[in-house]
Structure 1
Amino acid sequence: MVEALQKNPKHKGRKGPVVLVIMDGVGYGKYTEGDAVKAALTPNLDRLTAEWPSTKLKAHGTAVGLPDDGDMGNSEVGHNAIGCGRVFAQGAKLVGKSIEEGRIFAGDTWKKLISNVRDKNTTLHFLGLFSDGNVHSNVSHLRAMLTRALDEGVKRARVHILLDGRDVGETSALEYIDPFEEFLSGLNAKGADYRIASGGGRMQITMDRYGANWSMVEKGWHTHVLGEGRRFASAHEAVEILRAETSAIDQDLPPFVIEENGKALGSIEDGDSVIFFNFRGDRALEITAAFEEDDFDKFDRVRRPGVEYAGMMEYDGDMHVPRQYLVPPPSIDRTLGEFLAATRVKQLAVSETQKFGHVTYFFNGNRTGKFDPGTEDYVEIPSDIVPFEDRPWMKAAEITDTVIKALEEGKYDFIRLNYPNGDMVGHTGIYPAVVCAMEALDLQLGRLEKAARKAGATLILTADHGNSDDMFEHSKTGEVIIKENGQPKAKTAHSLNPVPCIIVDFDGKGEYSPTLKEGLGISSLAATSIELLGYLPPSDYDPGVLDWK
């Protein structure tokens, strides 16, 4: 439990609430070409930036707890940082250090899964996102575990690969598959039988989140567990043929199964061990439920093999999911939400399904549930189950409707919301759709501004990371990379660009300088929110952007 916040003596009070507006995936682009934020018609955002105090915040790399400043930020670590006001070592860094120091292999879970297959002469399965994007997973972690498994006497392993094309290049799958096959050949030369067994695009199978589309998980179950689906001789062949047939980028490639002698190479059977090697939790929870839950009703599993299952990390600390995991997650405590609950500040969190968990679970330090149900309300607006490029406005209007109603009712002191457009549409790589998404978002900012002005509210306009600001691949010298068809090569990953922090203080009384601090990260948003609410932030929080007089 935390103590209530102390009053900020320099704050002179406000008529309305503080509204933290997270424009997911909206940054300040480095290049003009491919910057959908700049290309879009955004008169409201442009005007607010020009008329009110603003600064740029770091939202990637070490500023959000990732191993290196070359690592892209993401929505999960971004909301962790925004919500807890400090920087914690995050998934990739934690796992990498655990492997480097050998702690992962000394842990009870690893020992249990290895001895299970070694003693029974069964198969060790690895399932996860197959890239080095460092957002959900890293293929280097997979290589390290396979190498260790062989050293510990595991003779047979199967790898089920989820193709990325989202946190890495959109058609980069073979750049990971081909070297990995060589790596496996090296292990097999030492007497192992380690093979890629199945796969498919991450937006087609297995990696759904927030219960938005359980049919994805069902397809993944049939592919990985039951060994059902279209069959190929190798993963390389599968990617080449499916890409030629569908023209899909990696994240949208259909599922495939590798066969040998007319049989699926790697169905999951009783007595096997399974490691889901993603370290990020949101897209790991549903497939975990399919393996672990006895009373599972989301789809017909046909059969549920009796396996030893583990996740790379604990994906939900409150619900203790999964039951077994290899690396303990960061222990994030004393979050903004917890302090506000202790201070009896009335809070509202709003987003659509795609980002609802971010303004709740991740914002609260990977915690399910509310700190104080008496002072907190959460509103989830169901997302449409359609390709994001087909409806790039998403649910921005409905999110705004909910916040405007809350402003009119005057019930809340602190409102946080997430507009997913810049990120979710940005990941499609379809430039016109991203421009449309930004223009749709801007229309809602205009509506929100009017309601906030009337309520005397304070808006903090910001983002969790960049994405829509960097939609084309560029060479090291800055030129746009052009494909054979003459079109720019789309970039579907997050950017390394800074994000906005705009303070729109309609009822301000001149208590702080109009020039905001520079060089800070998005973790500074927690202290900034607390100060604008009229309180003093905890002493160990990263400093806010305001320079109080």
Structure 2
Amino acid sequence: MESLKKHPRFAGVEGPVVLVVMDGIGIGRQDEGNLVHRAKTPNIDWLAEHAIASQLKAHGTAVGLPTDGDMGNSEVGHNAIGAGRIFNQGAARINTAIEDGVLWDGEVWRELTGNVKERKSTLHFIGLFSDGNVHSHLDHLRAMLRRAKDEGVGTVRIHALLDGRDVPPTSALEYIDDFEGFLADLNAEHGVDYAIASGGGRMNITMDRYEADWDMVARGWKIHVRGEGRAFSSAREAVETFRGEKPGILDQDLPGFVIERDGAPVGPVRDGDSVILFNYRGDRAIELSRAFDEDPFDKFDRGPRPDVKFAGMMQYDGDLEIPKKFLVPPPHIDRTIGEYLSKTGVKQLALSETQKFGHVTYFFNGNRSGKFNPDYEDYVEIPSDRCPFEDKPEMKAKELTDKTVEAIESGRYRFIRLNYPNGDMVGHTGVFEAVIRGIEAVDEGVGRIMEAVKKTNGALIASADHGNSDDMAARDKKTGEILRDEHGRPRPKTAHSLNPVPVYVYDPSGQSNARLSGHPDLGISSLAATSLVLMGYEPPEDYTPSVVEVG
């Protein structure tokens, strides 16, 4: 690839260009369910009134997802921001692979199904048990079960990670009941034995990310693989029991459980079995993949590791080859803004706390681990607190801001990107008061960055990867009215929103003579070109156009 070309009309702002991703902070209707609106955000409000302000699409086809009914998420959002253009993403790639038969003809699918047929063993599926279409989709699991049946696989076990995060927070029984009916039809019509074998809430077991809490994965391993845990006769019984014991518990927090028949677990993983992790999003799939694939392994005591054929729905980290086998390849994203800047010899900094560090590095760089050129890239990760987000909703916003202001004033960097996770991570808790505090912590940080940018004659671009905190009340699907509990309080919604996100371009020195470019219906992939023009570079021709014109 070639180096970037200088912009024909503008040499770039004198100081650094700072891209702030206010994770999960979108633009929603101004009512009780919009916690961004309810929070005190004087700095963001000032930007909305005085800076160049617009809004960007951050979901659906604008970030490479199949339809505009699909919520955006942090992974595809940072892919789009960093790539500067749109690539078909997880679910869309899998849908195509299923429709075209590419998945079934693939070497890995044939190897795993062939293994269990030859050995008369069990095919296991582990994954997020919902149609939220962020980490997984139950339609993919149904398609694989039908195909396994057609190919003569006799025994299948499903290990269900209950959601309540990308779907309504207490909807687990709807998914369980519907799926049990689907399994009953398969078993009755075709003489196979397909059953749910274990489960638990996604934030209690299995789906940790960024090595924040390996104990979650260890708990999941005992439940899914070893079949060791509290036993029930059905997944419905488990959910109802846990809800009775702890009223108000959300699906994502439910403890792990094991399904038994005749006093024994119905589906532990044994030597000779095959296992498919059917999540397609990488961040919360990497650690379980490592537990199956790696030897030696020191993150927790696996006990006797079963000798199995293991594959992920996709490869979650191409550089580190995690997992070694996968059903559908991820998009090949090249020529990201980070790669272009490194090629051009531009010094850049990426920083966040642990919960979103991989997003401003791995995902921003096009699903690529490591640096393009260490001489021109610095990464800063601030360890996240290991406590419920609602207990400390400010998270590490102050520490992140301290590091960012220091970097701005140092003069070492031309481009700085950071992610404030609060609006998303605290938003997923459904605790309104905590979310408001988290957003206010982000606003305080943005204000300090504005001051540093003004001091150094730099520029600030503040936006988001998707919405969440802007639409946190459950609503009537027909009327849009907020649904309330018995005390009249809004019922929380913890999933991402379909709302657009703000974009604020702040050039306090006025060097760029920036104004809105006038391109209609821009998505967040335009943030790369916007960053480049403010630095004085001409964006590549196939990049999504910049939000602003300069010069």
Query: What interval of TM-score do these two structures reach, taking the shorter chain for normalisation?
Result: over 0.9
Does structure 2 conserve the Cα–Cα contact (< 8 Å) formed by 1:54 and 1:515?
Answer: no
What is residue 396 of structure 1 aligned with on the other side? 397
Please name the residue that 2:323 is paired with.
322
The equivalent of 2:68 in structure 1 is 69
- Does structure 2 retain, via aligned residues, the 8 Å contact 1:10–1:511? no
- Comparing 435-444 and 489-498, the one that deviates more: 435-444
Q: Which residue is equivalent to 1:425?
A: 426
Other-structure match for 1:21? 20
Q: What secondary structure does 1:143 align onto?
A: helix
Judged with a 3 Å threshold, the aligned counterparts in structure 2 of structure 1 residues 153 and 362 are, in CA distance, closer, same or farther, namely same
* Contact 1:81 1:87 (C-alpha < 8 Å) held by counterparts: yes
Q: Secondary structure at the match of 1:503?
A: strand
Within-5 A mapping of 1:151-300: 151-189=150-188, 190-247=190-247, 248-300=249-301
Q: Which amino acid aligns with 1:483?
A: D
Q: Distance in 1 between matches of 2:462 and 2:550?
A: 19
Deviations 1:46-90 (A, max 9, x none): 011111111000000000000000000000000000000110000
Amino acid aligned to 1:170 = P
Which residue number corresponds to residue 112 of structure 2? 113
Q: Secondary structure at the match of 1:71?
A: coil
Name the amino acid aligned to 1:492: T
Q: Distance in 2 between matches of 1:325 and 1:194?
A: 22
Q: Displacement of 1:33 after TM fit? A: 2.1
Residue 522 of structure 2 corresponds to residue 523 of structure 1: no
8 Å contact 1:53–1:516 — kept in the other structure?
A: no
| Structure 2 letter corresponding to 1:477 | T
For 1:123, the equivalent position in structure 2 comes to 122
Distance 1:109 1:511, change over 3 A: same
Deviations 1:260-299 (A, max 9, x none): 1111111000000000000011100000000000010000
8 A contact 1:11–1:511 mirrored in 2: no
Give CA deviations for 1:309-337 in whole Å, capped at 9, x if unaligned. Answer: 00000111111111110011111111110
SS at match of 1:497: coil
Distance 1:11 1:478 in 2: 46
Residue matched to 2:515: 513
Equivalent-residue separation in structure 1 for 2:486 and 2:10 (angstroms): 59
Structure 1, unaligned stretches of length 5 or more?
none
Aligned to 2:438: 437
SS at match of 1:472: coil
Q: Distance in 2 between matches of 1:48 and 1:516?
A: 19
Pairs aligned (count): 548
Alpha-carbon distance, 1:13 to partner: 3.3
In 2, are the aligned partners of 1:55 and 1:518 still within 8 Å (CA)? no
Q: C-alpha separation between the residues in 1 aligned to 2:300 and 2:150?
A: 38
- Give the CA deviation at 1:516: 5.8
CA distance in 1, matches of 2:531, 2:510: 14
Could you say if the C-alpha distance between residues 520 and 514 of structure 1 is closer, same or farther in structure 2, counting changes exceeding 3 Å?
A: closer
Per-residue deviation, 1:441: 1.1
Name the TM-score, length of structure 1 as normaliser: 0.98
Amino acid corresponding to residue 279 of structure 2 in structure 1: N
| Distance in 2 separating the partners of 1:352 and 1:42 | 22
The alpha-carbon distance between structure 1 residues 196 and 320, as it changes in their structure 2 partners (threshold 3 A), is same
Secondary structure of the structure 1 residue equivalent to 2:548: coil
Question: Take 2:308 and 2:462, find their aligned partners in 1: how far apart are those partners?
Answer: 47
Cα deviation digits, residues 405-449 of structure 1 (max 9, x gap): 111211000000000000000001111111111111111112111
Give the Cα–Cα distance (whole angstroms) in 1 for the partners of residues 488 and 307 of structure 2: 52
Q: Shift in Å at residue 518 of structure 1?
A: 4.2
Distance, in Å, in 2 between the alignment partners of 1:292 and 1:393 is 36
Which whole-Å deviations, capped at 9, do the CAs of 1:133-174 have from their partners, x for residues lacking one?
000000000000001101101110000000000000000101
Task: Describe how 1:58-97 pairs up with structure 2 within 5 A.
Answer: 58-97=57-96
Contact preservation (8 Å) 1:82, 1:522:
yes
- Paired with 2:388 and 2:431, the residues of 1 have a C-alpha distance of 11
Correspondence 1:532 to 2:549: no
Partners of 2:517 and 2:546 within 8 A in 1 = no
Aligned counterpart, 1:458: 459
**Structure 1 residues 373-421: Cα deviation after superposition (integer angstroms, max 9, x where no partner):** 0010000000001000010000001100111111121100000000000
Indicate the residue corresponding to 2:471 in structure 1.
470
Q: Secondary structure at the match of 1:377?
A: strand
Q: Distance in 2 between matches of 1:381 and 1:174?
A: 38
Q: What secondary structure, in the 3-state scheme, does the structure 2 residue paired with 1:478 have?
A: coil
> What are the Cα deviations for residues 3-52 of structure 1, in whole angstroms up to 9, with x where unaligned?
11000021143221000000000000035121000000111110111111
CA contact under 8 A between 2:517 and 2:547: conserved in structure 1?
no
SS of equivalent to 2:538:
coil
TM-score normalised per structure 2: 0.98
Q: CA deviation at 1:483?
A: 2.7
Aligned-residue offset at 1:455: 1.4
User: Matched residues in 1 for 2:112 and 2:125: separation?
Assistant: 12
User: 1: CA distance between counterparts of 2:278 and 2:51?
Assistant: 44
Q: CA deviation at 1:450?
A: 1.3
Q: Aligned equivalents of 1:12 and 1:326: distance in 2?
A: 46
Cα 1:115–1:346 change in 2 (3 A) is: same
**CA RMSD across the alignment:** 1.1
Give the match's secondary structure for 2:255.
coil
Question: What's the secondary structure of 1:279's corresponding residue?
Answer: coil
